[in-house]
Amino acid sequence: MKTLLSWRAPALSLLVFLLMIGIWHALTLPKVMPVTAESEYAALVGTAAATGQKSAFPSPSDVGRKIMEHLREPFYDRGPNDKGIGIQLAFSIGRVMLGYLLAALVAIPVGFLIGMSPTVYRALDPYIQVLKPISPLAWMPLALFTLKDSSISAIFVIFICSLWPMLINTAFGVSSVRKEWLNVARTLEVGNLRTAFRVILPAAAPTIMTGMRISISIAWLVIVAAEMLVGGTGIGYFVWNEWNNLSITNIITAILAIGMVGMLLDLMMAKLTKLVTFPE
């Protein structure tokens, strides 16, 4: 019975996938042309107009063939505007990870400080509330003006968008540590630094990791838009370049690749969160 139940979700997921592919295929079928003198002539000469007009939107089979082409040669480099999708994804992932790690180096220590000190929290909270709602892309013109480098500017935007979820969740996790545990540490005369690493950090780790998981998703979301603005390399630039080339098939392929990488990054952070979450 348990085995049967465990297969329900995958079976339903497969059914939904097949349904979406079926609808997609139906919407991209050639449209039947009305019988006219032109269509009769087309039938005589054997052109495609005799059977119907093919949809401008690519069919599932078109996208499937394009995906196979990219998988056969994902890392080719034939010039500035003709690089494999693997190279473009590698540039984007590199920028995301660098900006994300820089944000973690700032957000987690500052979040600890805010969570442990009500005075620091009250002092910094107005600045956090003002800066947090600002769209990361609103920083891009300022970054381009000051940093003079499109790649570094994209990393800076990732840094900004990754900072706030980690900072807020770290502060919340630290401030939510049970007072009984802190009182026991004081009773045992444990130093502040040791208390932070031995008591507060393990207790707040699940909340901190949740903030880091949210941040990685936002960072991957933002990098695509940032690369569309700054150009050069990256999966966002790839999408924009293919739009300029009017290659809808490549755009859909890139969208699927973006979704797959985002899912893998989220699964990775979910696994790490489970490692630091202890059953109560």
Please, are residues 257 and 223 in contact by the beta-carbon 8 Å criterion? Answer: no
Inter-residue contact 241 to 87 (CB < 8 Å): no
Distance CA 186, CA 188 (A): 5
Task: Name the helix (H) or strand (E) containing 268.
Answer: helix 248-275
Please give the DSSP secondary-structure letter assigned to residue 55: P
CA–CA separation, 208 vs 197, rounded Å? 14
Residue 162 has pLDDT above 70, yes or no: yes
The pTM score is 0.83
Give the pLDDT confidence of 233-278 residue by residue, as tens digits: 889 889 998 888 888 899 999 999 999 999 999 999 999 988 887 7
* Alpha-helix runs per DSSP H in 28-84: 37-45, 60-72
If phi > 0 it is left, if psi is from -120 to 50 it is alpha, else beta; for residue 148 that is left
Domain spans, the chain: 1-57, 59-275
Provide the pLDDT confidence category of residue 13 given band limits of 50, 70 and 90: confident
Listed in sequence order, the DSSP H helices in 176-234 are 179-187, 192-195, 201-230
| Residues paired with 77 in a beta bridge | 83
Which stretch, 45-54, 99-108, 217-226, 271-280, has highest mean pLDDT? 99-108
Query: How would residue 55 be classed by pLDDT, with cut points 50, 70 and 90?
Result: low
Q: Please give the CATH topology (third level) of the domain spanning 59-275.
A: MetI-like fold (1.10.3720)
Beta bridge partners of 31: 53
Q: Give the pLDDT confidence score for residue 210 in this predicted structure.
A: 92
Phi/psi of residue 53, each to 5°? -100, 125
